[in-house]
Amino acid sequence: MAPRFDIDLLMPAPMMDFVVERLDQAFRVHKLWLAPDRDALLTQVAPSVRAIAAAGGVSIGAPLMGRLPRLECVSGFGVGYDSIDARWAGAHGIVVTNTPDVLTEEVADTALALTLMTVRRLGQAERYLRAGGWLERPFPLTPTLRGRTAGILGLGRIGKAIAQRLAACGLSVHYHGRHRQADVAFPYHATPKDLAQAVDILVVVTPGGADTRHLIDGDVLRALGPDGVLINIARGSVVDEAALIAALRAGAILGAGLDVFANEPRVPQALLELDNAVLLPHVGSATIHTRRAMGQLVVDNLTAWAEGRPVLTPVPETPLAL
């Protein structure tokens, strides 16, 4: 059965089965990861490839896009797109899309759960029970959410959903972003360090990439203080992991809850050994419901582009006139 569109599409890495099936029905899909000689396949198909379907975290940089003279669209899986060089793409007339909104509530739920786990030491309590510790004595008393102030670093869609949940738990909420938002009543702070000084739970929701690399460094962690908790559900690159490990070891902060890491899936052994760190394997949006919605949005963006309609979720760097 011939594909619906007479268009060659490159898929550099595996994606969800139903995404592959639907794209196979619509395009001539070249599955780069299955090729015995990937460079040979890329050389063969490069002159005709007009679109890329990009799995989350797969690097789509200028060296790859520059080899594809007819490339018009890169459809990325995930709200974060720091693995795609969107600036280069935009400057060369290439549309880049991501999958926002459909994962907002799921990630916000995970951030709230991670906050509760970290402050109340719930993961440690479960391990204590499983190891038989409760048979000997009750689990030690823990810190509380009561009376705390939360800071949201990056008050976008997901940041607002997290703020709503934390406010419902009785926490005061402050925020920092590139700009003060006129329609937001939460107190605004001009720098991450200023925000950290004002709160004792700092939730990182900012995009990854070179502009935010190590935005949370030793100075910010010291400003957060010995009763402070760091929650990161954004990108591992935003936090200086060496500085975080040092702060956790020294008691410069109370604890950290992390769903993302700098070199996933490899987590530093030093973090694994720390009892005041709660660590999750990047599961923020990892439910069947949400991942299917994200995959469908990848397909829908490519279909819209192929039909000559505006794509549904272009990233800001995309030339919107296309």
- Tell me the catalytic residues: 235, 264, 282
| Contacts for 284 with CB less than 8 Å, ≥ 6 apart | 103, 106, 107, 110, 111, 233, 259, 260
- To 10 degrees, the CA torsion angle through 287, 292, 293, 295? 120
Residues contacting residue 139 through CB under 8 Å, at least 6 positions apart: 121, 124, 125, 128, 129, 133
Question: Shortest CA distance to 152 belongs to which of 139, 140, 165?
Answer: 165
DSSP state of 285: T
Q: What are the φ/ψ torsions at residue 278 (nearest 5 degrees)?
A: -100, 125
The residues near 260 (Cβ < 8 Å, ≥ 6 apart) are 232, 233, 234, 235, 236, 282, 284
Cα gap 288→271, rounded to integer Å: 29
Cα angle, residue 293 at apex, residues 262 and 236 outer, rounded to 5°: 10
Whats the size of the chain, residue-wise? 322
With vertex at residue 276, the alpha carbon angle to CA 163 and CA 229, rounded to the nearest 5 degrees, is 25
Give the Cα separation of 224 and 192 in Å (integer). 10
**C-beta of residue 79 within 8 angstroms of C-beta of residue 235:** no
Cβ partners under 8 Å of residue 305, min gap 6: 51, 72, 73, 75, 95, 311
Instruction: Compute the distance between CA of residue 229 and CA of residue 166 in angstroms, rounded to an integer.
Output: 14
